[in-house]
Amino acid sequence: MSERPRGEEPGGGERPGGEPRQGSTPAERFFDAAIGLLRRVRDEEAEPIAAAGALIADTVASGGRLFAFGAGHSSLAAQDLVYRAGGLALMNLLAVPGVVGVDVMPATLGSALERVDGLASAVLDSSPLRSGDLLVIISLSGRNALPVEMAMNARALGVKVIGVTSVAYASKTKSRHASGTYLKDHCDLVLDSKIAVGDAELTLDTIPAPFAPASTVVTTALLQAVMATAAADLAGRGIEPPLLRSGNVDGGHEWNVRVLREYGDRIFYRQQ
């Protein structure tokens, strides 16, 4: 099993203290890589996470609505925020047909749609987003037309935008948007997932390509840290966070009925 040089990529072939890994299994190496990335995000993104939580709390407190968008596998982290036990009931999925996960056939069509100019405008024009709302846009590379235009057009509407991306892509890849810019260039706040370009944490001498992506693990955890921060921020202001409970615990269903009824005008995933 080959090892990456020290400091070459996040989650590489060393233990947190710098001790090389010897003889570990691929499974152990992947867990070590993911844990290393989570530690980096926790330590290096502490201030942006706090700021993002405060921005979400500001939106909730002022009567705004919350939305999340991601294309392809980035949509998984967006979906994880919506209608989730322990999560904010006000988070809605901004769905773009054909790019929500890998729900379209062939799956490669979803990748092609991310590069289509003008698609973001059509989506926003038919969405409930309005000035005063907040949109979380998740894109690992941040280089495709769809997330870039989504951020640009949302901000033009007066929507606050939090971008979740790997900033490394902006220095190591070419933008696919006509402006030459990336998602990170059009956000009120950027959260850097620290994922290496290519999103593969492991190498093996007998396998010709790097493998074992960690972006979903890290991005999902990063966003849940933001949601936890927002909930605590609201409570600190004397506002009960509009949280959902698991429907599989006693009293959970009744609790959720109350929350969904109280905030029904800001929740769109219940509408037919």
What pLDDT is attached to residue 52? 98
Quote the pTM value.
0.87
Euclidean distance between CA atoms 86 and 70, whole angstroms: 21
What pLDDT is attached to residue 119? 79
What pLDDT is attached to residue 3? 38
Q: Residue 106, preceding bond cis, omega within 30 degrees?
A: yes
What pLDDT is attached to residue 106? 75
Question: Worst-scoring range by mean pLDDT, 6-10, 215-219, 246-250?
Answer: 6-10
pLDDT digits (tens, 9 = 90+) for 153-175: 999 999 999 999 999 999 999 99
Q: Both tokens of residue 228?
A: 């936890």
CA distances from 118 to 10, 115, 125, 147, 177 (A): 35, 9, 11, 11, 11
The arithmetic mean of pLDDT across residues 79-91, rounded, is: 96
What pLDDT is attached to residue 190? 98
Burial class of residue 263 in the structure, from the number of CB atoms within 10 Å of its CB (0-12 exposed, 13-18 middle, 19+ buried):
middle
Would you say residue 21 has pLDDT above 60? Answer: no
Q: Both tokens of residue 162?
A: 């939090």
Euclidean distance between CA atoms 85 and 147, whole angstroms: 27
What pLDDT is attached to residue 102? 73
Q: 130 with 105: CB under 8 angstroms?
A: no
CA distances from 258 to 90, 211, 238, 255 (A): 13, 45, 19, 5
Would you say residue 97 has pLDDT above 70? Answer: yes
What does the mean pLDDT of the chain come to?
Answer: 88
Length, in residues, of the chain = 272
What pLDDT is attached to residue 103? 72
Q: 144 with 158: CB under 8 angstroms?
A: no
CA distances from 160 to 52, 66, 89, 91, 218 (A): 10, 10, 19, 14, 23
Helix ranges restricted to H, 63-211: 74-79, 108-113, 119-125, 145-156, 168-172
What percent of the chain has pLDDT above 70?
A: 87
